[in-house]
Amino acid sequence: MNYRDKPELQDRLAGEYVLGTLRGRARSRFQTWLRDDARLRRAVAEWEARLAPMAAGVAELAPPRRVWQAIQARIAVSARRPQVSGFWESLAFWRGWGLIATGCAAALLGALALQQPQVVEVPKIVEVPSKAMQASYVAILHATQDGQKLVFVAYAGRHSDELWVKKVALGDAPPEHGYELWGLPAKAGEPPKSLGMLPKDDKGTIKLAAVADQSLKDFPALAISIEPASGSKTGLPTGPVVAKGDCLKFW
């Protein structure tokens, strides 16, 4: 469909897109057009301004507490990262979800891309000249409340499925609760993955699902949350995140 020279058609499609009646392939196609057509984005923003006040007619409903807890756990990761990765998260987010939240946001993303053409994510690899140290993954976690305070370290040989853990200053979990260790994926929007419950003692091991090179390589960071003693029932962090930090390749 040639829509570019037809402002009335553009405006009609923008209205139906915002109202939500544009669906399926028509919606995807419209979202593709939105990415490179500033005029269309403006039409969408105008329709959003016209129709969004209708939301005032919807009764408020308080979301359960776990929603906020999950959001906190997820933003704890992005707060930890430097600003540049936010840019990549943005791209990953928009592409991953195929979601154009508003035309304006997409336009600004485009502007960002122009301003920062050379942002490159630095791989978290530490080169070690000596062969004495076995190739391994090393995680160093700090308290969420106090980023200076080292509270937990973990270590696994690259080809081992045993993760050695040490609570440096984590204290005891609340009664009937325990600490659960999570791998945090690099890509925003992907959920954390449980690596297991920490042992009760200050030092011990966690049996990984596979050798570290498979089970840890996708997680540039780890986090610890407080969960029921048998682990989170949802498969996602539900309790407060008490510690987080980088998981480095040490070879």
Partner 1 sequence: MDPAQNKLLQDLLAACARKDQGAFARLYQATAPKLFGVAVRILKREDWAEEVVQDCFVSVWNHAGTYSAGLSAPMTWMTSIVRNRCLDWLRRPNLEVVLVAADDDAEDPIEGMAFDGPGPLDQLASSADAKALADCLRRLEAKQRQAIMLAFYDGLSHSELASHMRQPLGTVKTWVRRGLERLKGCLGSM
Which residues contribute to the site for partner 1 (CB under 8 A)? 11-12, 15-16, 18-21, 23-24, 27, 45, 48-64, 66-68, 70-71, 74-75, 78-79, 86, 89-90, 93, 97-102, 104-105, 108-109, 112, 188-189
61 or 210: whose CB is closer to partner 1? 61
Alpha-helical regions (H) of the chain? 7-19, 24-35, 38-51, 65-80, 83-97, 103-115, 212-215
78 or 134: whose CB is closer to partner 1? 78
163 or 223: whose CB is closer to partner 1? 223
Q: Name 119's Cβ contacts closer than 8 Å, sequence gap at least 6.
A: 84, 87, 88
Compute the Cα dihedral for 203, 204, 209, 213 and give only its sign. Answer: positive
CA distances (Å), 209 to each of 196, 226, 227, in order? 9, 21, 20
Measured between its terminal Cα atoms, the distance across the chain in Å is 54
Least distance in angstroms from the C-beta of 27 to partner 1: 7
Assigned token pair, 163: 């993760």
4 or 50: whose CB is closer to partner 1? 50
Q: Rounded to an integer, what distance in angstroms lies between the CA atom of residue 243 and that of residue 141?
A: 6
111 or 125: whose CB is closer to partner 1? 111
Least distance in angstroms from the C-beta of 52 to partner 1: 4
Least distance in angstroms from the C-beta of 203 to partner 1: 32
Q: Rounded to an integer, what distance in angstroms lies between the CA atom of residue 247 and that of residue 138?
A: 6
Least distance in angstroms from the C-beta of 196 to partner 1: 24
Q: One-letter amino acid identity for 61?
A: L
Q: Rounded to an integer, what distance in angstroms lies between the CA atom of residue 147 and that of residue 152?
A: 12
Q: Name 165's Cβ contacts closer than 8 Å, sequence gap at least 6.
A: 152, 153, 154, 155, 181, 198, 199, 203, 204, 205, 206
12 or 217: whose CB is closer to partner 1? 12
Least distance in angstroms from the C-beta of 188 to partner 1: 6
